[in-house]
C-alpha cells in the first residue's frame, strides 16, 4: 500500500452528464475516478477493486437504485468500510433520507450540488483515507520490526544456550586434568621440597595458587551454567529455613569476622530451595567480605508487594561507586585486585540468573564507604 498513490473515488450515476460534471467539479491531480452508470456496473467494479476512498452514488437509478446498491456493498466484508455519499434530487421524500442512512451512508447531498461543499466533503474523506492508510502502513512496519526483534531475541537465546552448554562441557572436562596438575605439583613439593632452592619453591607456590584459582573459576563457571537449569524445581519453601541454612553454612566466616546478621520473619514462598540458599549465601557472604575496618553488620528485610516478594540485604561495608552498579552483575566482573578481596567475580552473575529464573529483578543501592543494599524481587506467580 502506497500513500503517494492517487486516491480512488467511484462515481455512480445513470446520467453520464452528471458524472462528467462531478469529475469537473472534483478535478484534482490526487484523485482518480472510476465511473459506473448503474448499480450493477458499480458492483462489478467493486468486485475487482476495493481500494476506494469514497463512493458517490446517485439515489435514483433504474433497476438497482442507490440504496439497494449501498445495501449490497455493506454486506461485503471487503467493501463495507468504504464511505458512501448519496446524491439525490431535492424532491426526494424525507423517509428516503432516513432509508439512506440505514443502508450505511456516511453522508447525503441534495442536487444540484454546490461545488464548494462537495469539494470540501470529498477532501475530508480523501484525507481520512490517506491517514488511515498511513496508520496501516505504520502498523505493518511495526509488525515487521516486532517480528524481526522476536527473531533476533530467539537467536540470541539459542546462541546463549549453546554458549552455556559449551561452558558447562568445557569446564566439566577441564576439572580432571586440573586436579591432576595440582596433585602432582603438591606431590613434587612434598617429595622434593627439601632439595629445591627458594626460587623454585616460590614458583611452585605460584603454580599451585594459580591452579586453585583456576579450580575456583571452573567451579564458578559450572555453577553459572547450571543456574537456570530446570532440574531445580520450584516448591513451597519456608523463608526462615533458607536463612537458617545459610547462617549455618557461613558460621565460620561469621565467627571469624564477628559479623552480626539480623533478619525479618520471611513467610513461605514458592522458589527453588537450593537456589535461594545459594542466592542469600552469595549476598550475605559478600556483605561480610567487602568491608575494611568495620565489624560487618548485615540486615535482611522482607516486604510483600503486589505480585512480588521484595528482599533487601544491607551491609555497612565499602560500598560501590555508582558507575559499577550494573557492571558487578556481569560474569567475571570484580572491582578490586586479586589478593585484596577473594573471589572470582561470578557470585552476583549467578544471583542474577537465579533471580531471572524466578521472574524477578536484582539491583543494588549503595553509598561508597558507607554500605550497600542488594535488593531483589521474586514473583509470587511461580
- Residues forming contacts to ligand ADP in the complex (CB under 6 A) are 282, 286-287, 290, 315, 317-320, 328, 333-336, 343-349, 372
- Sign, CA dihedral 282-287-293-295, equals negative
Distance in Å, CB of 345 to ligand ADP, minimum = 4
Closest residue to ligand ADP in the complex (CB): 343
Please, which residues have CB within 8 angstroms of residue 273's CB and are 6 or more apart in sequence? 235, 237, 241, 242
| Nearer residue to ligand ADP within complex by CB, 39 or 287 | 287
Q: Are 365 and 379 in contact (CB under 8 A)?
A: no
Distance in Å, CB of 184 to ligand ADP, minimum = 28
| Nearer residue to ligand ADP within complex by CB, 201 or 326 | 326
* Axis crossing angle, helix 198-226 with helix 115-192, rounded to the nearest 10: 140
| Nearer residue to ligand ADP within complex by CB, 39 or 347 | 347
Please, which residues have CB within 8 angstroms of residue 266's CB and are 6 or more apart in sequence? 238, 239, 240, 242, 243, 300, 302, 311
| Nearer residue to ligand ADP within complex by CB, 213 or 304 | 213
Distance in Å, CB of 153 to ligand ADP, minimum = 25
Distance in Å, CB of 364 to ligand ADP, minimum = 8
Q: Give the integer Cα–Cα distance in Å for 66 and 107.
A: 13
| Nearer residue to ligand ADP within complex by CB, 275 or 282 | 282
* Axis crossing angle, helix 115-192 with helix 16-26, rounded to the nearest 10: 60
| Nearer residue to ligand ADP within complex by CB, 244 or 336 | 336
Distance in Å, CB of 346 to ligand ADP, minimum = 6
Distance in Å, CB of 139 to ligand ADP, minimum = 44
Q: Give the integer Cα–Cα distance in Å for 78 and 173.
A: 63
Cα angle at 300 between 294 and 306, to 5 degrees? 145
Distance in Å, CB of 316 to ligand ADP, minimum = 10
| Nearer residue to ligand ADP within complex by CB, 22 or 246 | 246
Q: How far is CA 285 from the centre of its chain?
A: 33
Give φ, ψ of 31 to 5 degrees: -100, 145
Please, which residues have CB within 8 angstroms of residue 249's CB and are 6 or more apart in sequence? 277, 281
Amino acid at each position: 500500500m502506497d500513500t503517494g498513490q492517487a486516491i480512488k473515488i467511484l462515481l455512480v450515476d445513470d446520467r453520464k452528464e452528471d458524472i462528467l460534471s462531478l469529475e469537473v467539479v472534483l478535478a484534482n491531480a490526487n484523485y482518480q475516478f472510476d465511473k459506473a452508470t448503474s448499480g450493477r456496473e458499480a458492483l462489478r467494479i467493486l468486485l475487482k477493486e476495493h481500494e476506494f476512498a469514497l463512493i458517490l452514488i446517485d439515489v435514483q437509478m433504474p433497476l438497482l437504485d442507490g440504496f439497494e446498491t449501498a445495501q449490497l456493498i455493506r454486506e461485503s466484508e471487503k467493501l463495507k468500510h468504504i464511505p458512501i455519499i448519496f446524491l439525490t434530487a431535492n424532491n426526494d421524500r424525507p423517509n428516503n433520507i432516513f432509508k439512506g442512512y440505514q443502508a450505511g451512508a456516511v453522508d447525503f447531498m441534495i442536487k444540484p450540488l454546490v461545488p464548494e461543499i462537495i469539494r470540501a466533503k470529498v477532501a475530508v474523506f480523501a484525507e481520512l483515507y490517506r491517514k488511515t492508510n498511513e496508520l496501516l502502513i505504520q502498523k505493518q512496519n511495526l509488525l515487521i520490526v516486532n517480528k524481526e526483534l522476536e527473531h533476533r531475541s530467539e537467536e540470541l537465546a539459542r546462541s546463549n544456550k549453546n554458549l552455556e552448554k559449551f561452558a558447562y562441557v568445557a569446564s566439566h572436562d577441564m576439572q580432571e586434568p586440573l586436579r591432576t596438575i595440582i596433585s602432582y605439583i603438591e606431590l613434587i613439593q612434598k617429595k622434593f621440597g627439601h632439595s629445591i632452592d627458594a626460587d623454585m619453591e616460590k614458583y611452585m607456590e605460584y603454580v599451585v595458587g594459580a591452579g586453585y584459582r583456576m579450580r575456583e573459576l571452573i567451579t564458578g563457571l559450572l555453577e553459572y551454567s547450571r543456574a537456570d537449569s530446570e532440574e531445580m524445581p520450584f516448591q513451597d519453601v519456608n523463608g526462615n529455613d533458607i536463612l537458617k541454612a545459610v547462617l549455618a553454612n557461613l558460621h565460620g566466616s561469621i565467627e571469624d569476622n564477628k559479623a552480626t546478621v539480623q533478619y525479618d520473619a520471611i513467610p513461605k514462598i514458592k522458589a527453588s530451595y537450593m537456589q535461594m540458599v545459594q542466592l542469600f549465601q552469595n549476598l550475605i557472604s559478600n556483605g561480610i567480605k567487602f568491608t575494611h575496618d568495620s565489624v560487618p553488620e548485615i540486615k535482611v528485610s522482607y516486604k510483600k508487594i503486589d505480585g512480588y516478594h521484595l528482599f533487601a540485604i544491607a551491609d555497612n561495608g565499602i560500598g560501590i561507586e555508582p558507575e559499577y552498579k550494573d557492571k558487578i552483575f556481569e560474569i567475571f566482573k570484580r572491582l578490586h585486585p586479586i589478593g585484596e578481596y577473594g573471589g572470582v567475580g561470578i557470585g552476583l552473575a549467578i544471583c542474577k540468573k537465579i533471580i531471572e529464573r524466578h521472574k524477578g529483578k536484582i539491583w543494588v543501592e549503595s553509598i561508597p564507604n558507607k554500605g550497600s543494599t542488594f535488593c531483589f524481587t521474586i514473583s509470587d506467580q511461580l
